Chains A and B, each alone.
Chain A
């Protein structure tokens, strides 16, 4: 019997736990040539901002071992164009749409939540907190749990009540569980983790940073153990809070790993660049992997790694 792949994220149900990660699926149109977007659990958009944004200068990326370093700088057309052009297209495809938002102050995030709530079809809001906070010398919101909580609270207060709000966390913070708890206390319905890990690559010839602007985010399979560790820690501390896990997912077994660590669903990011049909392939592999375990529902496997030996495995 084929297992029930449906998963629940707060008040939303997805047909399966495979999602795209923010900023790794274009507007959806580009990926739709390779993947039927209605078949995967959800598509997460590039982080949307209030205004159009040109992003960082090139070079924006350098390949690193089993991954890449990138600094895109949130290039995007702004919320007006997103609502007029990109969202209607995504909805026409019949998939579940999660809109990622980014801003420079709690009020900008709140305004975005308000605008998205006026539109129909936004299935969930993911709050990208890895953005510099000008009011705090440009430190990221994730670096200061109180600031992150202020943003989450503002978004939750302005978003329609039937739209779940997930806070997206960075891995490289002094107290991840403290940050997660602060976001949940600010009424986040769930958590997404992890964003790319801050890092740098230096060109061996010029001895200058390989990516314009110096620092970038490391993503891809290289960061998967970091990501699984983060999900495991946060799920142990906050077992009732749904988690979208991500970081280096390349195969169906990787998805299972995140679910066992405590994620309810799992997003595929950088690997889409290497394999444009990755989401469809990973879904297939995941389904086979779950089938082999003889469980009736994927939900039974969430947090399996936290259970005592012997109790963890279906089948």
Chain B
């Protein structure tokens, strides 16, 4: 098992003919992801890495449906259209890779996805990888590194920073353990599947025995995870590291933000909430493997 993707997930690549689309399609294919089709409007009929390209998602679905997931590599201003198209065509899981997607576009995608029963990871995400099974996005960069750095195992990893997602997972592998699934939830203030949603999925996943979370200042994600632990919705052990202690005061949307977020968002608030709930919060990222081993009794 793993969460969200495995070797059977039928994946579409939107923006497959672009610079990133092409390169990452190669990574995904070589790693074993079941990439079934690609879409670039106006470039239908071509092939990229042996994958057929179509003009619309609807057309790709006609020829290769059902499609389980779509990885979106189009430029940021076009992400909204690409995502809405995929959702309307019936795709239930999207990965929005690009950085700099306007927040109001994300709200619109979120709203439509919710109404259609679809989910999305990102935007501004490195992607998701289930070791030995499949990768969507660009975690690992190339298949060879991805195989070296990530190994199948009992640790579910969720992170708000792309680079740290790989770093934590690599340290875990180096310590002789492995991961069930590695998720970079995305670096933006509003993301489709934030930490609490991913943590809930890990809770249900039989392969996952311990959850590792990399949090950052800003947003309410980590506090909401603490609430899940408190409410016993999450019972698996959780090891967390929160970045940004030395950085400036957390990003608040405005003064009015305090009314909605309460005191959430700051480094102290996150660490305290998690510790209160019973999570293990380590002081250094490099302490994570030891903490995980201890939890697993190794």
A binds B: no
